[in-house]
Every structure is written in structure tokens, then in C-alpha cells.
Amino acid sequence: MSMLRRGALTVLLAACTAAGADPTLLSHVPPDSKVFLGANLSRFLASPFAKTVMDQAQSAQPQVQELIKATGLNPLRDMHEFLLASPGGPKPDRGVVLVKGVFDLARITALAGEAGAAFTSYGGVRVLAGKKPTDGWFAFLDGATAAVGDAQSVRGVIDRGGAGGPDAPLRARIDELGNDYDFWFLSAVPVSGLASGAPPAQFGGAMQGDILKAVTQASGGVRFGPDLLVSIETVSRTEKDAAALADVVKFLVGMAQMSAQKDPRGAEATQFLQRLQLSAAGNVTRMSLSIPQAELEKLAAQAQAMVTAQGAASPPGRQPAAQPGGLTIQSSPRDMGTVTVK
């Protein structure tokens, strides 16, 4: 890489780092939002690790190229940042995903028409909505911003016209996380409350344990650079609760390392736990883990090889039959709902 190109890349990364969360996306966040998940895709995709992984993924999945050709939308190029916001707690089906990017509205409209769907207008905004009240909405707020979620949340985004957003303390914390990480999360509700809509057979029961019930706020993120950095910070009700959480994490790490000694296959995956930094100060518990890029790329290559081998060994499955005259947009069966237009 020439010095000129390297300098340009440095300036670009510095600009992204200083930007924090996109102010336009934050202005559309419902005011009652307490749970957030964000990603600066432009910054992540500029990292060497992302380039390696994406090249492998695209070469192994030619259907991705077919989708890009059909829709004119390349998520790896056209989607710059996204922000999920939800009230959390007893409203697991409420929330909105806001996306900043470059959208070919004419091509997307034509694609919807070919599928038998059509955009309508709500408050002067182009909206693709299902026929049932429980169906989700997909809206283009402008040529560079889209929103998808349950109908009530998306209607609220449109009605506020960019005059929403979280309160000042949450906004400040979101900006810090957006500055520090490529992918980040923030929960301003008790962690155990996030399990209210989770099936107990999965992780719902574990999240409602006594230790996690004491966690009133959690945040953290992942940053890709020379090393992969993963950080988590929790705020507990008391200093004693924070110390107890740190002790539980230490115990689980020790158990994982002991299991790895009995199973060589898990030794490589758990060796990174030796780098875990763990501390408790006051009612705050902090955890961070750093993994060198070379080791991370090695793990990614091994995972890709396993997926490829499994695909080659499995008989070709029957593809789901296409539904004529229908278009479905789904983000999650529980969180955001499904847009189905027939």
C-alpha cells in the first residue's frame, strides 16, 4: 500500500472514530428506548480482518453475488451504520432498526412490484406494510435512512420526524460506545428483564439468576484493529453484588480451562481466556479480552473450512418453494416482527 493510500485510510478511520453514533439515527430513536445495539459497518469493513473474512464468505457463497445483482443492494458497500432501539422489559416485541446507507429506491420499488407488493405513503414517507395489524413496517425516511420494526414503533418514528432520541445521559453513553467500538450494546434496564421474552429452555432461566438480577445496567462492544478487543461493563445494585459477579466469572473461566485440559479440541478456543482482564471497583464490574488478529483469522479460517466440509458432506436439501405474489421482510420472529405483503 502506497504512503498516500495509507494516509487516506488513516484519515478515514480517524474521522469514523471521532463520529460516534450517527446523529440522524439517534434523532429517530423512540424516546422510551432503553436497550440499544449498534454497528459502524464502514469502520468494521475497513479493518484487515473484515476484508479477509468477507472475501472468504463471498467466494464460498455465490448466491450472495446473485442477490446483489438482483436487488442492486450490496450490504457490504451500501450499509454504513445500523442502530437497534427497544424499550426492553415487558415489551419484547416493540422496537425499531434504523439503517444509514445508500439505497436505490427506484430499483427496490421495482423489485417490490415484481413480487406483487407496493409502497404506500404515511406522513409523506414511503412505507411497505403488511395487511395485518401485527405485521411489521419497512420505511424509507429519506434516501439514506431506513427504518424497520413493528407498526407502532415505525409510525412513531415517522410522526416525530427526527425529533426523538434518548435522554442526555443515554445519548452521551451511546456516543462513547460508538467512538470506542465497531459493534456495541447498551442496556439501561436490568439484565434479568431482557429474559422476559426468552424461552426458559434456552438462556432465559440463566439470565434470571440472583447475580444477574442485581445488574441494573450493562454495556460493551467489540473493536477490530491490530487485536480484537471485547469489553463488557456492568453496573450492579451494590459493591457486594459487583464483587460476586466478578467471582462467578472467574469460576466459569476456571471451569472452561479445566474442561479444555480434558478435551484438546477445546484447548485452542479457551487459551484466549488466559488474557481476560477482570476487575470490580465500587458497584462496577469490567471485563476485557484481547485476541491478536493473526490468531483470530486462523480461527475464522478453521470455522469456514468446517462449514464448507459440512456443506460438501450433506446431500443437497430441497429449497423452500417460492410464494408467488408475495414479499416477506423479517428481522426476528419475536423482536421486530415480519412484513408480509401478498
167-206 pLDDT per residue, tens = 999 999 999 999 999 999 999 988 776 655 444 444 444 4
Please answer whether residues 28 and 36 qualify as being in contact, where contact means their C-beta atoms are separated by less than 8 angstroms: no
pLDDT at 336: 41
Confidence of residue 216 (pLDDT cuts 50, 70, 90): very high
pLDDT at 4 over 60: no
Cα angle 95, 99, 103; round to 5: 135
The torsion defined by the Cα of 44, 332, 209 and 39, in degrees rounded to 10, comes to 20
Q: Are 140 and 126 in contact (CB under 8 A)?
A: yes
| pLDDT value of residue 7 | 33
Residue 328 pLDDT: 45
In this model, does residue 319 exceed pLDDT 70?
no
- Highest mean pLDDT among 25-29, 191-195, 326-330 belongs to 25-29
What is the value of pTM for the model shown?
0.75
Average pLDDT on 289-296 reads 83
Listed in sequence order, the residues at least 6 apart from 107 whose beta carbon sits closer than 8 Å to its beta carbon are 71, 72, 73
CA–CA distance, 25 with 33 (Å, rounded to integer): 13
Q: Rounded to an integer, what is the distance from CA 46 to the centroid of its chain?
A: 17
User: What residue type is 305 in one-letter code?
Assistant: A
Q: Is the pLDDT of residue 5 over 70?
A: no
Which 3 state secondary structure label does DSSP give 339?
strand
pLDDT at 330: 46
Percent of the chain's residues with pLDDT above 70: 67
Which stretch of DSSP H or E encloses residue 203? none
The residue ranges of every structural domain in the chain are 18-312+326-341
101 pLDDT higher than 50 = yes
Which residue, 59, 45, 48, is CA-closest to 305? 59
Range among 69-78, 249-258, 329-338 rated most confident: 249-258
Look up cell 478453521; give the residue.
302
pLDDT at residue number 53: 67
The per-residue pLDDT for 113 is 78
According to the model, what pLDDT value does residue 157 have? Answer: 96
The residue assigned the cell 451504520 is 81
Return the pLDDT at 322.
44
The residue that leads in pLDDT, 107 or 151, is 151
Sign of CA dihedral 326, 91, 216, 201: negative
Looking up cell 478487543 gives: 229
- 159-168, 242-251, 256-265: the lowest-pLDDT one: 256-265
Which of 48-52, 142-146, 193-197, 318-322 shows the lowest per-residue confidence on average (mean pLDDT)? Answer: 318-322
DSSP state of 72: S
Query: Where do runs of H (alpha helix) occur along 72-145?
Result: 75-78, 105-114
Q: Is 324's pLDDT higher than 60?
A: no
* pLDDT level of residue 131 (50, 70, 90 thresholds): confident
Sheet holding 35-40, edge to edge: 120-122, 125-129, 136-142, 145-150, 96-101, 79-86, 35-40, 183-187, 215-224, 227-236, 284-292, 277-281
pLDDT in tens, 41-87: 888 888 877 776 666 655 555 666 666 666 566 666 778 999 999 99
Mean pLDDT of 199-226: 72
